[in-house]
Structure 1
Amino acid sequence: MIIPFKNHKIFAFSDTHGMHSQLRIPSEADILICAGDGVEGIEEQELSDFLNWYAAQPAQLRIFVAGNHELLFDLCPEDAQLLIPKGVTLLEDFGIKYDNIHFYSITARPWLHHKQEIPSNIDFLITHGPAKGVLDEGTGCSLLKDVIAKYKPRNHVFGHIHSCGSQMIICPNTVHYNVSYFESLL
């Protein structure tokens, strides 16, 4: 899904589940966001292959947020971080600023397990899972909903719920994007 923002074309996606070679990234995209589940299994080699493919995609910035299928980030986080190639920025419970755009991620794969605080000037909050009540098929995270209500990020990019992929909802303070591509790649 292309998201125009501050003179950039941001392409955000998630849930390719090993079918990433079928994903067509628009040539005008200069920032890429992967909101997790690039892989299907738990093999280190599968994750490495996906991340190397991602690093090879043309863009000025490539952000990666792990999903629930990137289990290595939960089981062996140090080993998983060693797989991140040059040119890919892993965001996990922190943020970066790029060309005056503030990106931040909290680990909701797919749910938060405790209250979290984030900065209040976020342009893009990136999580794998959705907030409760937003393109979530009734399974979203209430703690994430509270974070978004309190800190009001301008945009929330997420996936996980395949049936709501490639949809957006504009709320008073935040635009929510479910960027799951799973169903469109089948």
Structure 2
Amino acid sequence: MIIPYKNHKIFAFSDTHGMHSQLRIPSEADILICAGDGVAGIEEQELSDFLNWYAAQPAQLRIFVAGNHELLFDLCPEDAQLLIPKGVTLLEDSGIKYDNIHFYSITARPWLHHKQEIPSSIDFLITHGPAKGVLDEGTGCSLLKDVIAKYKPRNHVFGHIHSCGSQMIICPNTVHYNVSYFESLL
């Protein structure tokens, strides 16, 4: 999904589940966001292959947030971080500022397990899972909903719920984007 923002064209996606070579990244996109589940299995080689493919995509910035299928980030986080190639920025409970755009991620794979604090004035909050009540088919995270209500990021990018992919909802303070591509790649 292309999101025009502050003179950039941001392409956000998730849930390619090993079918990333079929994904067509628009040539005008200069910032890429992967909100997780680039792989189908839990093999380290599959994750490495996906991340190397991602690093090779033309863009000024490539952000990666692990999903629930990137299980290595939960089981062996140090080993998983070693797989991140040059040119890919991993965000895990952290953020970066790029050309006056503040990106931040919290580890909702697909849910948070405790209350989270995040900075204020975030342009893009990136998680793998959705907030409760937002393109979630009733399975979203209530703790994430509370974080968004409290800190009011301008945009929330997530995936996980395949059937709601490529949809957005505009709420009073936050625009929510479900960027799952799984069903469109089948």
TM-score (norm. length: structure 2): 1.00
Map 1:145-160 to 2 at 5 A. Answer: 145-160=145-160
Match of 2:117, SS state, is coil
Q: Deviations over 1:29-64 (max 9, x none)?
A: 000000000000000000000000000000000000
Shift in Å at residue 80 of structure 1? 0.1
The residue that corresponds to 1:123 in the other structure is 123
The residue that corresponds to 1:181 in the other structure is 181
Q: Deviations over 1:99-149 (max 9, x none)?
A: 000000000000000000000110000000000000000000000000000
How far apart in 1 are the matches of 2:113 and 2:42? 22
How far apart in 2 are the matches of 1:125 and 1:172? 16
The residue that corresponds to 1:31 in the other structure is 31
How far apart in 2 are the matches of 1:170 and 1:43? 37
Match of 2:176, SS state, is strand
How far apart in 1 are the matches of 2:87 and 2:95? 16
2:59 matches 1:59: yes
Shift in Å at residue 4 of structure 1? 0.1
Which aligned runs of 4 or more in structure 1 are off by greater than 6 angstroms?
none
The residue that corresponds to 1:43 in the other structure is 43
The residue that corresponds to 1:164 in the other structure is 164
How far apart in 1 are the matches of 2:155 and 2:121? 11
Of all paired residues, the percent bearing the same amino acid is 98
Q: What runs of 5+ residues in structure 2 fail to find an aligned partner?
A: none
RMSD between superposed Cα atoms in Å: 0.2
Shift in Å at residue 182 of structure 1? 0.1
Instruction: Count the aligned residue pairs.
Output: 186
How far apart in 2 are the matches of 1:121 and 1:55? 28
TM-score (norm. length: structure 1): 1.00
